[in-house]
Amino acid sequence: MKVVLRNPRREVEVAGNRRVKDVLRDLEILPETVLVIRGDDLITADQHVGDADTIELRPVMSGGV
C-alpha cells in the first residue's frame, strides 16, 4: 500500500492488509501527531487498510513560538 507523508511531501510503499496502528508503529509515527486520511475521510487507528489503499498521514504539529 501507499503512504503519503508531508513536510516534505513524499510517498512510501509499506505492507498493507493490517490495521492503521500497525502501519504507524512500523513508520515510528505517534498516533497523536497525525491525521490519517483515506480518500475524503478520516479513519481511526483500529481500521484495516488493504494492499491497494493509499493513506495520507498528515502531521498536525505547527510550531515555532
Partner 1 sequence: MKCRKCGNAAVLELRRHNAAFCGPDFLEFFRNQVREAIRKYRMFTPDEPVLVAVSGGKDSLALWDVLIDDGYRTTGLYLDLGIFDYSVESRGKCEAFAAARGVPLLVRRVADEVGAPVPVIKSVTRRPPCSGCGLSKRYLMNRAALDEGMPVVATGHNLDDEAATLFGSVMHWQTDALPRQSPALASTHPKLVRRVKPLYRLSERETAAYAFLRKIDYIVDECPFAKGATSIAHKETLNRMEDASPGAKHNFLFGFLEKARPAFERAEAVVLNECTRCGQVTTGTLCAFCKLADQVKRSL
- Nearer Cβ to partner 1 (16/31): 31
Which residues within the stretch 29-58 sit at the binding site for partner 1 (CB under 8 A)? 30-35, 37, 41-47, 58
| 5 lines the binding site for partner 1 (CB under 8 A) | no
CB within 8 Å of 55: residues ≥ 6 apart: 1, 2, 3, 4, 20, 23, 36, 37, 38, 43, 49
Which residues within the stretch 8-27 sit at the binding site for partner 1 (CB under 8 A)? none
**Secondary element (H or E) of residue 23:** helix 20-26
Footprint of partner 1 (CB under 8 A): 6-7, 30-35, 37, 41-47, 58-65
